[in-house]
Amino acid sequence: MNGRQTFGAPGRVREVTSLANPLVKEIKALQLKKHRDEQHAFVAEGLKLVIDALDLGWSIRTLVFAKSALGNPSVEKTAARTVASGGNVLEVPERILTAITRRDNPQAVLGVFTQRFMPLQDIHAADRDLWVALDRVRDPGNLGTIIRTVDAAGARGVILVGEATDPFSLETVRATMGSVFAVPIAKASQDAFLVWRKNFKGLVAGTHLEGTTDYRAVEFGNGPVLLMMGNEQQGLPEALARSCDALIRIPQAGRADSLNLAVATGIMLYEIRRNALPGATA
Ligand code: SAM
């Protein structure tokens, strides 16, 4: 069944006060990946995020707002946009927002959106394009932070390789601070990724604790770059490491055996972009 239909007749505004309301139960169920996958939907919290998402052309299924936000012109305008696009609008007491987001002091507005994945086959990197491939990323905070940093560094997007944490979980979406709406995300098995990688016309730079090349010594040039980052516990597996043109190490002092994945990704992105940060503000 089409996910949208289960979210009730579209284009209606209603006041809901019970946690047993079927629409509220459907949205609350999106806390679980199983339901997000079935519905192809996810929740994003905060009025700014919802407005940004609409401006970027994302499809909103339901807007939920706290009674306390009634009369706020931005909320009312967003509600009107939601209805105009065929979505539902629910006005609820704060305890329902708390239940949906599992948060005390929840934001007054949230949106339920349709998920989007970019097909891997549609990625054809051009000069200056920078893509990040993440091997089996497990931590939602790491993934969200990386998506946010990819956005800030002007990279093109993220490829999730193998079994990864869900980019559309509440925790990940929260950590992206809205960048989930701006950064294309693709996903692929390791095998499918390795087939696609063969046609990648540019430098494939893997990061590895046993890498022989210092990250500051690499000439990234103007061609496309694919940055490959390893799993938090195990690093890059042999098959992925072998597919890289260079294995790069970020030197470390002290006792830490490695850097946090999101920190290492941030360092690499800014190093690759050192001489060219497109559209950057000062
Ligand atoms: N125990 C893991 C290992 O042996 O690789 C540590 C993985 S580390 C937490 C996660 C990923 O961040 C690594 O696979 C690599 O991609 C990147 N990374 C972290 N520190 C790094 C460093 N000093 N040099 C290069 N890459 C690093």
At 155-188, the pLDDT tens digits run: 999 999 999 999 999 999 999 999 999 999 999 9
Q: Which two tokens stand for residue 36?
A: 């997000």
Q: Which token pair is 92?
A: 């609820």
What's the gap in Å between 207 CA and the centre of ligand 1?
7
Q: Write down all domains in the chain, each with its CATH number in brackets.
A: 13-114 (3.30.1330.30), 120-276 (3.40.1280.10)
pLDDT score of 79 more than 80: yes
Q: What is the pLDDT of residues 6-15, one digit of tens each?
A: 444 455 789 9
**Cα 255 to Cα 270: distance, rounded to the nearest angstrom:** 24
Give the Cα separation of 59 and 161 in Å (integer): 26
What one-letter code names the amino acid at 147? Answer: I
98 Cβ below 6 A of ligand 1: no
261 CA distance to ligand 1 centroid (A)?
Answer: 6
The pLDDT score that the predictor gives to residue 5 is: 37
The token pair at 222 is: 């103007």
Residue 12 has a pLDDT of 72
Binned at pLDDT 50, 70 and 90, residue 281 comes out as: low
Residue 207 CB less than 6 A away from ligand 1: yes
Q: Is the CB of 236 under 6 A from ligand 1?
A: yes
Q: Is the CB of 267 under 6 A from ligand 1?
A: no
* pLDDT attached to residue 8: 44
Q: With a 6 A CB cut-off, is 259 part of the ligand 1 pocket?
A: yes
Confidence of residue 3 (pLDDT cuts 50, 70, 90): very low
Residue bearing the CA closest to ligand 1, atom 19: 259
Q: Which pLDDT band holds residue 73 (cuts at 50, 70, 90)?
A: very high
Please report the pLDDT score of residue 24 as a whole number.
Answer: 97
DSSP state of 32: S
Mean residue pLDDT of the chain comes to 94
Question: Closest residue (by CA) to atom 8 of ligand 1?
Answer: 232
Confidence at residue 67, expressed as pLDDT on a 0 to 100 scale: 94
- Residue 231 Cα to ligand 1 midpoint, Å, equals 8
List the one residue out of 188, 175, 169 whose CA is nearest residue 115: 169
Position 1 pLDDT exceeds 90: no
Q: Which residues neighbour 57 within 8 Å (Cβ) at sequence distance 6 or greater?
A: none
* Beta carbon of 249 within 6 Å of any ligand 1 atom: yes
pLDDT, tens digit, 9 for 90 and up, residues 200-252: 999 999 999 999 999 999 999 889 999 999 999 999 999 999 999 999 999 99
**pLDDT of residue 34 exceeding 90:** yes
pTM, rounded to two decimals: 0.94
pLDDT of residue 280: 64
